[in-house]
Structure 1
């Protein structure tokens, strides 16, 4: 029988835990446990003890468990989405809470359907060599607060599929959602295959240096990713780091703006802009600059923002005060630098303490903080250019290189421009679109390692060459 939000909170909220509040209303959601480093050590020991039997089931045996786990997430999707909306702030509708839980189900099923088989790399009379992939062992998964459930599944599903066991550390901002998700998964999985350890930064720091963790997956800031790389060095822990992005989009001259305006808007403001691979700086040719700015401003005015549990809303609050302050600072800096605030630009205090309206910033230049820093919120700088080479150079000029996009009705011009952009993923006439079979990862300051599909499975394995 599907669980309610109350049921889920009864399973994960603890009386003497740290309070978690709804960023839209300030109301209490529940109390999260705060585990210790000793609790983490015990969890690592438990999942390590469970790993050989889990690996021994083989792909077919593990797939049966994982498909059942996906079924349970789907059966409990509405309760999970409502808890997510209350804790993270994102609305139920639009590309938000229900979308996120649905993505969890789709990713689990797609990932569990995959299998790594030996690859013959040489087949000669005196040398037959095969590349095999074995489970890494214990995987540590450290997730963010913006897509807490979905990114947890991105980390957990491939690890469990290949025969690893997992310890999950949720963000301090959204621990209840992740704990509830893991509870639902564990209703289908064998004991100790997946454990969750909520807690503070000391838990994440210990995971980075833990000798019992064979592979660590982290999604979050570049600064934290660098700290994890340093801390893990003594153990030579294998890492997948999906770090900060400051994705550029380029609108080529002659583009049908009306046809692409809504995709441009959601490329930037998905999850109220709180997405690593969101469009965060938009370069538009001078011939269509005002047309693009006006189209985005018009869409901003038509998108309802408010409490996520209100079915009408598709934009929500910033999840936390720290992120709210970053957005407000960057917009104010742009205004002080002479930029034109087309729409938004001031906190929406009438909605609540953490609401900031969609803000289109025009007549802004490279070198301005809102262009050069990742805003991670509902503010988009639109930069004018006159020469495509100039736009490409600017797009490639920052260290962040998670994603990028090109917008054009000329397929050849779009492809030629896309191939010159430095980013882990480059989209044409879309931004941030991901697929469970398409590899995803950053380059430069946005990290390294691939997730999703077959490449994602390989990333949580160790390669072994067999030669005869």
Structure 2
């Protein structure tokens, strides 16, 4: 496909036709043109370790071209109406829905998650687009009298760099695209080097709907992120990823005083009280502990269970988790696919090695996989550790893999202190039939999202972010929209 093919796609769309997107070749998208680079690279299918297709390796020149196009596009895009921008987002959601089968297969091949979970992610992404299409930040009238009108409003920042992780590449890309574009910014998407494919196709599809320069995407290696964070003409970085990388993003953005939103890692506790219906909550808890092979920042990472129900709870939890099918995401009924990449495989494998080294007691699983999974895929047996010491690595660190500690507690004050005894504060939950008690405990947990009798509930209209080292700023909801704007106060003198 030549770079001019996208312009033909736009022309056909204007004539009432929308040519089918192909999912075989991958390009950067700069100013609505598909472009190649001198170098390319590929990732692998984590379930098979077989190579996926080649993708571009962008250079500083590519970044500069994309930023220049975004700045030029901002001059006109920022003058469009909210209704016009919203219509584009709805059309974009419709276009993604029209290719959902292709996106689902591609997502499973690059990320590894089961096909059913890929469809769920795509459905969430299109729901986010439709929800943001009508979301707005209302002006606030601070004072209005016969002499003076003072209005607090919000104006777009300009060019946004959206840096997306590899665990939920479609939803978390759209979670930056939608708020950036509805607030009249332009956005350049930087996919994770480990999962670039869906993001590149999202951008290619967007070129059929949005004006040139409004939404672009650049694929690259590890050096591409710093090109974004240090670029003087990018006004904001919206980043989702690890705490370590988030600190680097914040430091790199400081010289140009870029705005940043950082959604970082977590070590979410769930506190199970003694009055719960064990059989009723076990399926919910198991799902939000092992979904996506536990590679979600807001999965339950520490499960605190009251000592009076601990033995019964653990037995039921193990029995339910044991039934989870592990395998390639394309196999029927699989719930736990592979870890997404070799780097993460090695990190999770190190955590499994701690089991014998630190004498932890596995209630389920615990087998350390072969160090070289070539040809076999990056699979782990889901593992539950029975009441390890509070200072053990499985409690203090986020494994980002299917290994979970279950711990006893007796005293409410003690368990809240243990739940809060971490530098992270992304999510937390309390499970109890006594809602007054649960809310009292929930309000004392140091996390950006706290649930009662659920975990990992998210919605486009609800702000999401972390406390402490789990992030800076919030995404989604009206509060998230404000993060893509500069606040502005208008003083309007009357009768002059």
Residues 1:432 and 2:447 are matched in the alignment: no
> CA shift at 1:79, angstroms?
0.4
Do the aligned residues in 1 keep the contact of 2:442 with 2:450 (CA within 8 Å)? Answer: yes
- Given the superposition, is the C-alpha separation of residues 234 and 439 from structure 1 closer, same or farther in structure 2, using an over 3 Å criterion? same
> CA shift at 1:124, angstroms?
4.6
Q: Distance in 2 between matches of 1:347 and 1:431?
A: 29
Residues 1:116 and 2:131 are matched in the alignment: no
Q: Distance in 1 between matches of 2:432 and 2:359?
A: 29
Q: Report 1:21-420 matches (<5 A).
A: 21-93=44-116, 96-124=117-145, 127-347=148-368, 352-420=376-444
Q: Distance in 1 between matches of 2:472 and 2:291?
A: 24
Q: Which moved more, 1:414-423 or 1:225-234?
A: 225-234
Secondary structure of the 2:262 match is: strand
Q: Distance in 2 between matches of 1:334 and 1:366?
A: 14
- Given the superposition, is the C-alpha separation of residues 296 and 185 from structure 1 closer, same or farther in structure 2, using an over 3 Å criterion? farther
Question: Per-residue displacement from partner, 1:273-308 (whole Å, max 9, x unpaired)?
Answer: 000111101111111112222222112121111111
Question: Per-residue displacement from partner, 1:413-464 (whole Å, max 9, x unpaired)?
Answer: 1101000100000011111110111100001010111111111111101110
Do the aligned residues in 2 keep the contact of 1:3 with 1:79 (CA within 8 Å)? Answer: no
> CA shift at 1:395, angstroms?
0.6
- State the TM-score, normalizing by the size of structure 1: 0.96
> CA shift at 1:126, angstroms?
5.2
Do the aligned residues in 2 keep the contact of 1:131 with 1:463 (CA within 8 Å)? Answer: yes
> CA shift at 1:353, angstroms?
3.5
1:10 is matched with which residue: 21, 25, 33?
A: 25
Secondary structure of the 1:9 match is: coil
Do the aligned residues in 2 keep the contact of 1:70 with 1:185 (CA within 8 Å)? Answer: no
Do the aligned residues in 2 keep the contact of 1:12 with 1:176 (CA within 8 Å)? Answer: no
Secondary structure of the 2:24 match is: helix
Number of the residue aligned with 2:465: 441
Aligned residues: 464
2:479 is matched with which residue: 455, 458, 464?
A: 455
Q: Distance in 1 between matches of 2:347 and 2:474?
A: 29
> CA shift at 1:338, angstroms?
2.5
> CA shift at 1:347, angstroms?
4.4
| Unaligned 5+ runs, structure 2 | 1-17, 29-35
| Unaligned 5+ runs, structure 1 | none
Kindly name which structure, 1 or 2, has the bigger radius of gyration based on alpha carbons.
2
2:42 is matched with which residue: 1, 7, 19?
A: 19
Secondary structure of the 2:87 match is: helix
Do the aligned residues in 1 keep the contact of 2:69 with 2:212 (CA within 8 Å)? Answer: no
> CA shift at 1:231, angstroms?
1.1
Q: Which moved more, 1:82-91 or 1:127-136?
A: 127-136
Question: Per-residue displacement from partner, 1:242-286 (whole Å, max 9, x unpaired)?
Answer: 011111111111211111111111111121100011110111111
Question: Per-residue displacement from partner, 1:143-167 (whole Å, max 9, x unpaired)?
Answer: 1001111101111110000100001
Q: Distance in 2 between matches of 1:446 and 1:122?
A: 37
Q: Which moved more, 1:27-36 or 1:287-296?
A: 287-296
Q: Distance in 2 between matches of 1:126 and 1:403?
A: 48
> CA shift at 1:2, angstroms?
7.8
Do the aligned residues in 2 keep the contact of 1:159 with 1:166 (CA within 8 Å)? Answer: yes
Q: Distance in 2 between matches of 1:382 and 1:375?
A: 14
> CA shift at 1:182, angstroms?
1.6
Secondary structure of the 2:461 match is: coil
> CA shift at 1:336, angstroms?
2.7
Do the aligned residues in 2 keep the contact of 1:334 with 1:368 (CA within 8 Å)? Answer: no
Do the aligned residues in 1 keep the contact of 2:44 with 2:50 (CA within 8 Å)? Answer: yes
Cα RMSD (Å) of the superposition?
1.7
Q: Distance in 2 between matches of 1:201 and 1:322?
A: 13
